[in-house]
């Protein structure tokens, strides 16, 4: 088992009160290792600072992807800033270690205002092409909010890289299928014998407008999980490569030129239908996180997804 930063095994007295709601965000923050960039600059340092200053205050649990710690200190900067803003608890995916083929960590980070009483990580180990260098997987945090435990899981699945070879595309699909199977098995293991509500979030790299999405939903049926955006809208709003009504790309500073018009829905919040929590649909939506006065127009090349859970 991996240990969470500031792991608490007992409720701090300040948290022993009735928690009525939890504000949850998932976001691929697009903070890749140094020297990796799509265009002139990814503005990683400036976006890290902007995120900490302008986003954290609005949430209670924040699940981030692509916050890679290899050869940089951005993850520790975010954790430190979060602690100052009332997030004393955090956990993250581990480094791959000396005996693994991967060179960098999985980039997953969970921040919480409430105690993380247990944390664990399940590595996938089957990445393809650039993903082979990252120790991708699914990160778990058992969060004690008042008198209720919430099982939070975040992942970042195999990406699909630009290309026209259908055989290569099928390899990506099969890799993700294996990763989702690992995720389901891991969730079952961590929640066995409990009635804790389950929240599964992240960058799945599975387009909700594809047949692959139907396989994903089928894989999650036994866990009784619902896609909150699909429940609300009856379709999935795009979260990556957003296309404007005039056919132009919404974002070009950070996005790869071959993907800025993908117009795909790949970021999700899944919630168990049992466990005593209710999503407030008026607060469940995608989050563009537009910026002003910055050299980047959005905080990431992805939209975030948020919800509020009533306890």
Q: Is residue 1 part of a domain?
A: no
Please tell me the predicted confidence (pLDDT) of residue 8.
Answer: 33
On whether the CB atoms of residues 138 and 153 are closer than 8 A, the answer is yes
Q: Among all chains, which residue has been given the structure tokens 């956990």?
A: 91
Sign of CA dihedral 182, 200, 299, 161: positive
pLDDT value of residue 146: 87
If you average pLDDT over residues 219-238, what whole number do you get?
97
Question: Of all residues in the chain, what percent carry a pLDDT higher than 90?
Answer: 79
Q: Is 237 exposed, middle or buried (0-12, 13-18, 19+ CB in 10 A)?
A: middle
Q: What is the pLDDT of residue 11?
A: 35
**Contact criterion met (CB below 8 Å) for 172 and 126:** no
Tell me the HSE value of 277 on the side-chain side, using a 13 A CA sphere.
Answer: 31
Per-residue pLDDT at 245: 94
Q: Which residue range is the domain that position 77 belongs to?
A: 18-310
Give whole-number Cα distances, 282 to 164, 231, 307, in Å: 40, 12, 9
Q: Is 79 contained in some domain? A: yes
Q: Are 157 and 136 in contact (CB under 8 A)?
A: yes
First to last CA, the chain: 28
Q: Tally the domains of the chain.
A: 1
Q: Is residue 135 part of a domain?
A: yes
| Rg of the chain on CA atoms, in Å | 18
Report CA 81 to chain centroid distance, whole Å: 19
| CA contacts within 13 A on the Cβ side of 100 | 19
Of the candidates 240, 138, 114, 236, the one whose C-alpha atom is nearest the C-alpha of residue 189 is 138
User: Domain for residue 10, yes or no?
Assistant: no
User: Number of C-alpha atoms within 13 angstroms, CB side, residue 151?
Assistant: 25
User: Given this model, what pLDDT does residue 10 score?
Assistant: 33
60 occurs within a structural domain: yes
Query: Average pLDDT in the 120-143 region?
Result: 93
Supply the pLDDT for residue 250: 97
Q: Judge whether residue 100 has pLDDT over 70.
A: no
Q: Are strands 267-272 and 285-287 parallel, antiparallel or unpaired?
A: unpaired
Q: Is residue 11 part of a domain?
A: no
- Tell me which range, 4-13, 70-79, 94-103, is most confidently predicted by mean pLDDT: 70-79
The pLDDT assigned to 15 comes to 40
pLDDT for 99 beyond 70: no
237-276 pLDDT, tens digit per residue, is: 999 999 999 999 999 999 999 999 999 999 999 999 988 8
Residue 101 lies in a domain: yes
Q: Residue 173 sits in a domain of what CATH number?
A: 3.60.10.10
Mean pLDDT to the nearest integer, 222-235: 97
Closest CA to 137 of 214, 65, 34: 65
pLDDT, tens digit (0-9, with 9 covering 90-100), for 10-59:
333 344 356 799 999 999 999 998 878 888 999 999 999 999 999 999 99
Residue 2 has a pLDDT of 47
Looking at residue 39, what is its pLDDT?
Answer: 84
pLDDT in tens, 146-202: 889 999 999 999 999 988 789 999 999 999 999 999 999 999 999 999 999 999 999
Could you give the dihedral angle defined by the CA atoms of residues 205, 106, 3 and 184, in that order, rounded to the nearest 10 degrees?
Answer: 30
Domain assignment of residue 13, yes or no: no
User: What mean pLDDT is reported for the chain?
Assistant: 91
């Amino acid at each position: 088992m991996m240990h969470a930063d500031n792991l608490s095994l007992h409720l701090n007295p300040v948290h022993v009160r009735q928690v009525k709601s939890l504000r949850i965000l998932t976001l691929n923050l697009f903070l890749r290792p140094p020297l990796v960039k799509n265009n002139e600059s990814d503005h990683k340092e400036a976006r890290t600072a902007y995120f900490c200053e302008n986003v954290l205050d609005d949430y209670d649990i924040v699940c981030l992807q692509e916050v890679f710690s290899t050869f940089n200190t951005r993850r520790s900067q975010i954790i430190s800033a979060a602690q100052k803003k009332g997030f004393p608890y955090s956990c993250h995916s581990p480094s791959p270690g000396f005996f693994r083929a991967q060179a960098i960590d999985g980039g997953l980070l969970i921040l919480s205002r409430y105690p993380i009483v247990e944390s664990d990580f399940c590595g996938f180990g089957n990445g393809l092409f650039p993903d082979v260098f990252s120790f991708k997987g699914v990160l778990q945090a058992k969060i004690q909010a008042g008198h209720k435990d919430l099982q939070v899981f975040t992942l970042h699945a195999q990406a699909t890289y630009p290309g026209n070879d259908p055989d290569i595309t099928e390899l990506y699909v099969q890799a993700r299928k294996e990763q989702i199977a690992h995720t389901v098995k891991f969730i079952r293991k961590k929640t066995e014998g409990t009635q804790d509500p389950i929240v599964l979030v992240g960058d799945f790299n599975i387009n909700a407008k594809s047949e692959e999405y139907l396989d994903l939903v089928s894989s999650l049926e036994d866990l009784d999980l619902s896609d909150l955006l699909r429940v609300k809208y009856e379709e999935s709003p795009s979260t990556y490569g957003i296309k404007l009504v005039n056919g132009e790309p919404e974002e070009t500073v950070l996005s790869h030129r071959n993907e800025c018009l993908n117009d795909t829905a790949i970021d999700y919040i899944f919630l168990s239908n049992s466990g005593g929590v209710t999503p407030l649909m008026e607060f469940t939506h995608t989050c563009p996180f537009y910026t002003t006065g910055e050299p980047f127009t959005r905080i990431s090349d992805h939209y975030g997804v948020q919800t509020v859970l009533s306890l």
